Amino acid sequence: MKTVALIVQQGFAPFEFGLACEAFGLDRSDDGIPNFDFRIVTPDPGAIRSNLGFSINVEDDLAFADEADLVVVAPIPRGTWHKADPRVSEVVRRAAERRAWLLSVCSGSFVLAASGVLNGRRATTHWMYAQTMASMYPEIDVDPDVLYVQDDRIITSAGTAAGIDACLHLLRQVLGAEMANRIARRMVVPPQRDGGQAQFIEKPLPQVSSLSLAPVSDWMLDNLREELTVDQLAAKAHMSPRTFARRFKADLGATPASWLARQRIIHAQRLLETTELGLDRIAYEAGFGSAAVLRQNFARVLDTTPTAYRARFACTQEAMEAVA
């Protein structure tokens, strides 16, 4: 992925627009992260008014989006959901046909829906609008309880900050976990805010009732190689196992076992990218026990092998020295 086009239209939402600019448009070459050829495009170049009253000047029309590797669609106002711009719909359809990445933020999913590329697919949008989307487009399997959904090369995100999660999810696939983690650190956001592979959560955003589990989750990250049980973790949190399991899922969006398994995968990804350790050692450090179990988890969660992942995402020595 080398080129990114962000489609913005009249009445755009500044925050969601800005997070896409931050994720794909910022120069992070000083962190060893490759830059994208990033451009903001619109059907009618000129002053594009935001939903807060101010305008930005967009110089590029939609032509660049027809050759971009990734087309991002910013949110559009509710009053325009029934009258999608046919020029944008055509660009979206052509992007899907040529197997480019498509990513929508919040109500930008209605643009993808209007183009027809979500028909027969699973998708999401802001939880407040999920029922509206399901009613307008019954051919789409709308899931209101996730931060984002990827179906093939199309990613739709829930409302507002969930767009960051979707952008980082895509960046992990095209740049690798280590590069995506560096971008997340620069953005001062968690590199992964999901509740396991499918990112399922009970509410639109996890309701964090307290910070009492932070020391326990930090301790889990520091002891991934150990055999960690709910009873052991509950004792550290000074709770009963049942209370601990319930509070953990409410605060972190996943069961302790699912959260731990995901963190082990992430740690193994980083070791594969940034070290020359063998698979047995990486399996031990990440808490999988053996290379065979590591391979099983990579196949199940990432649909690849550790060796193939390393071949694709191993950081070059120059990049590692640049951030040392």
Is the domain of 131 the same as that of 38? yes
Domain count along the chain: 3
Asked, for residue 208, whether it belongs to a domain, the answer is no
Same domain, 124 and 100: yes
Tens of each residue's pLDDT in the chain, 324 residues: 999 999 999 999 999 999 999 999 999 999 889 999 999 999 999 999 999 999 999 999 999 999 999 999 999 999 899 888 999 999 999 999 999 999 999 999 999 999 999 999 999 999 889 889 999 999 999 988 788 999 999 999 998 888 999 999 999 989 988 888 889 888 888 766 643 323 333 333 333 444 578 889 889 999 999 999 999 999 999 999 999 999 888 777 778 998 899 899 989 998 998 899 999 999 999 999 999 999 999 988 888 899 988 887 776 443 344 333
Check whether residue 245 and residue 133 sit in a common domain.
no
* Residue 284: inside a domain: yes
* Whole-prediction pTM: 0.71
* Pairwise CA distance, residues 25 & 237, whole Å: 41
Q: Which residues contact 314 (CB under 8 A, 6 or more apart)?
A: 272, 273, 274
Tokens found for residue 202: 């009970």
| 176 and 223 assigned to the same domain | no
Q: Are residues 81 and 145 in the same domain?
A: yes
Q: Report yes or no on 277 lying in a domain.
A: yes
Distance (Å, whole) CA 229 – CA 239: 13
The 3-class secondary structure across 259-316, one letter per residue, is HHHHHHHHHHHHHHHHCCCCHHHHHHHHCCCCHHHHHHHHHHHCCCCHHHHHHHHCCC
Token code pair at residue 273 = 């990218």
The reply to whether 241 and 160 lie within a common domain is: no
Other CB atoms closer than 10 Å to residue 237's CB: what's the count? 18
CATH of the domain at 50: 3.40.50.880
Same domain flag for 114 and 40: yes
Q: Where are any strands of DSSP class E within 31-119?
A: 37-41, 46-49, 55-58, 70-73, 101-104
Domain range enclosing 286: 258-322
60 lies in some domain: yes
